[in-house]
Amino acid sequence: MEYRTGTMGRTFVVRFDHGDDFHGELLTLIKKENIRNGWFHCIGGLLEADVVIGPKEATMPPEPIWQEVRSPRELLGTGSILRDEHDEPKIHLHTSLGEHGTSMTVCTRKSTKVYLIVELYIIEIIGFNASRPWFSQGGFNKVAFTD
C-alpha cells in the first residue's frame, strides 16, 4: 500500500443534459479547469454506454468483458480523476446502472450518452503529486505517486 495526504481544493457542481456525451464533456471540463487530482460522485441517467462488467478470468492483465448498454438506466457512480504519463486526464468511473428493478455494477468507459440529466460533484484534491500512467503488467492505468 502507498498513500499521500492532500486537502480539498475547488468544488465543482456540474449538470449534464439529455443527449450530452457524458465522458467527453467531463474530459473537456477537466482540461479547461486544469483539474490534476480529484474525486467525483454522479447521479442521474444514461441512455447508452459501453461498459466493462468484469474480467473473463482472474488473470493479469485481465481480459475485459464488454457490454453495450442501449436503453435508459438509472445511474449512481463514483470516480477519480488523475493524469497519465502524457498529461492527459484519465477518468476511472464505476457505476451502478438500474433498469426496471434490475441493476448491474460496471466500469463505465466510453460511448456515454445522458438520459434526462446527470448531476456530478467534483472535489479537487491538492497538496501531492500523483498520476495514472499505463501499467503494462496489469493492463490498466495505475495510480502512481511522484513526490
**So what's the pLDDT on residue 147?**
73
Range 110-133 average pLDDT: 97
Q: The pTM is what? A: 0.94
Residues listed for the chain: 147
**So what's the pLDDT on residue 146?**
84
Range of the domain at 71: 9-145
Range 62-68 average pLDDT: 96
- CATH number, position 56: 3.30.1330.80
121 Cβ neighbours under 8 A, 6+ residues apart: 11, 12, 13, 14, 40, 41, 42
Q: Dihedrals φ, ψ of 4, to 5°?
A: -135, 160
How many domains does the chain divide into? 1
* Tens-place pLDDT, residues 76-89: 999 999 999 999 99
DSSP character for 128?
S
C-alpha cell at 95: 457505476
